[in-house]
Amino acid sequence: MIALFVRDVKLAVRGGGGALIGVLFFMTVVAVIPFGVGPDLNLLSRIGPAILWIGALLASLLGLDRLFQAERDDGALDLMLMQETPLTLIVLVKCLAHWVATGLPLVLAAPFLGLFMNMEARAIGATLLTLLVGTPAITFIGAVGAAVAVALPRGGLLVSILVLPLAIPVLIFGVSAVTAAVEDPAPFLPPFLILTAITLFFAVIGPVSAALALKHGAD
């Protein structure tokens, strides 16, 4: 499992520069917003957490369709299906490797983009924490979409369509937690704990569902 994790991280970084592409797309989304809403710094600081979360969500969708595509193309997926190691555990490791290669760089880039949006230090810290907890859920949800669309020649759009509706609760509670951290009367902990629970829920459901979809597709 360690070898599989290291291999997937290396492939994700080498194949199209997964981390760099995601961060550049993230930066592009955030940089375009001020041109649309105007140079009002107060408005930018108010909507900054939501913009960062939307940008991270969209950037996280990049490369999800290739989560199992390489294994299917070279026949490694058939070997994974025949191994004694549970396929659910293999999918979990691949999801973790994908998040480390593509999701973690987005989390690390968020504070710098928060300064660009004129966000306060408290808002930047809360955004960083919520992205760190919430973005793995997007990867686990995306694994299900990637497993369903792995047999399709152009499954990237289908994966995005499948993942986006399921990722809406992650976006809602992520932004709610950051807003609560900025506004003193609103408690930060309840939405943050719900966001954590969503990630833990999909950490179990996602690999199991993706493994079932892969087995069904192989049959």
What would the two tokens of residue 191 be?
Answer: 């939405």
The Cα–Cα gap between 34 and 97 comes to 33
Least confident of 64-68, 186-190, 214-218: 214-218
Question: Residue 187: left if φ>0, alpha if ψ -120 to 50, beta else—which one?
Answer: beta
Q: What is the mean pLDDT of residues 150-179?
A: 83
* pLDDT higher than 90, residue 205: yes
Does pLDDT of 197 surpass 80?
yes
Of 69, 70, 72, 64, which is closest to residue 95 (Cα–Cα)?
64
Give me the chain's average pLDDT, please.
Answer: 84
Average pLDDT for 112-122: 87
For position 201, what pLDDT does the model report? 96
Contact 64, 163 (CB under 8 A): yes
**Among 44-48, 147-151, 188-192, 195-199, which stretch is predicted with the lowest mean pLDDT?**
147-151
